Amino acid sequence: MFEQIERVPGDAILGLIEAFNKDTNPQKVDLGVGVYRDAHGNTPIMRAVKQAEALLLKNEITKSYIGSHGDPRYGQVILPMVLGEDSPVLAEKRVSATQSPGGTGALRLAADFIKTNLPGKGIWVSDPTWPNHLGIFQAAGIPLHKYPYVDAENRLDFDGMIAAIAKIPHGDVVVLHACCHNPSGFDLSKDQWKKVLEVVRERDLLPLVDFAYQGFGDGLEEDAYGARLMAESLDEVLITSSCSKNFGIYRERTGCLIAIAKNTEQMENIRSQMAIVARENYSNPPAHGSAIVCEILTSAELAAVWRDELTEMRDRINGLRRDFVDALKPYGLDAQFAHIAEQRGMFSYTGLKPDQVDHLRDEFGIYMVRSGRANVAGLASENLPYVAKAIASAVK
Ligand code: LMR
């Protein structure tokens, strides 16, 4: 039977890890997969995480199952982080958290929930979006559509976005990136979020807010503006949250699907459905990452250490954005790439074309996604002049 099965190309983002590791160029630079890197190119374990793990090693008393919704303590610490300590949605007891294997797992939970419980509804993603959004929603069998987000000149196409959302069929699902838009780095202003809310309301859409980078844009609270606006203004909202990046626990697969309903009764109904979706996919989520997060967020001391480290990471990325544009100045390219300093989060849509990205890889050992997406965290003061020179060579 297997003889009819064809080989398919690997994932374009994860494939870059392997290609980069194989490259023997001593000057190679990895601007590919979205993991944070320090000034030495490492992805270290955060100090707060190490301390939490030491406590877990000492105090953990069981490895038994944690249940389909995961560790209840995890929901208790993540919901206030995402929605705000004083969120009316929390006070109204109309929100539920289902822990998942990372943000990807939360998206798949949302997708399967939509497919089963909202039959016939389409889902709308930004163009461009994280490529795995397409894979996840298609795998779940949901009709997939796109709305414009970045124009041909590599700028946020907000008018195009609004015009397209205003035509989405009533009741469909619209995926919104809470912050640090992946892949573009173009985020919405507060006024733009308000406009999106207006249109979402008019069309009676269900927002699915993908919140994978809380704390990487402008701050934990600032980055939550759009997600909280939706949560507080609408009866029904889905949010996928991830601790992969902001706690640096990528491989521990720690995230959750947050479901907001009109009232407690409806919330409990959909919560029961989420448990079934989780059970049928993987039964229980992994526990180590959520235990780390709980340990940190329930200790004032560890939480303070973690917040400082997150601030360091965010400041480093935002500083690199400015330094990157400065490094391009000697080549007269600073105006062409000025948007890099304005974008937010790990990623920047550089505006480089696929053949230019190939040139960077082949001639300089610089790796980024062929869409022109660069992980800014992969830059460092040592490699900036090299990367700037390579870009000048690619665009000439
Ligand atoms: C990325 O976009 O690079 C990250 O979200 C990692 C991934 O899973 O694709």
The tokens of 217 are what?
């844009």
Residue 138: the pLDDT is 97
Among the atoms of ligand 1, which is closest to the Cα of residue 32?
Answer: 3
Catalytically active residues, by annotation: 130, 210, 245
| Residue 227 buriedness (CB in 10 A; 0-12 / 13-18 / 19+) | buried
Low pLDDT (below 50) residues in the chain: none
Please give all residues whose beta carbon lies within 6 A of any atom in ligand 1, as ranges: 13, 33-34, 130, 132, 182
3-state secondary structure of 318: helix
Residue 366: the pLDDT is 98
Residue whose CB lies within 8 A of the most ligand 1 atoms, among 11, 13, 20, for a mutation test? 13
Strands 144-148 and 123-127: parallel
Residue whose CB lies within 8 A of the most ligand 1 atoms, among 33, 241, 242, for a mutation test? 33
Alpha-carbon distance of 319 to 313, in angstroms, equals: 10
- Which amino acid residue places its CA nearest to atom 5 of ligand 1? 34
375 Cα distance to chain centroid: 13
The CA distances from residue 220 to 167, 212, 289, 338, 353, in Å, are 32, 12, 19, 25, 33
Residue 10: the pLDDT is 87
- Check if the beta carbon of residue 144 is closer than 8 Å to that of residue 294: no
- Which amino acid residue places its CA nearest to atom 6 of ligand 1? 34
Residue 294: the pLDDT is 98
DSSP 153-177: TSSB-HHHHHHHHTTSPTT-EEEEE
ipTM higher than the 0.90 cut: yes
Taking the centre of ligand 1 as the mean of its atom positions, its distance from the CA of residue 79, in whole angstroms, is 23
The tokens of 88 are what?
């009316």
Q: Which domains does the chain carry?
A: 10-44+301-395 (3.90.1150.10), 65-298 (3.40.640.10)
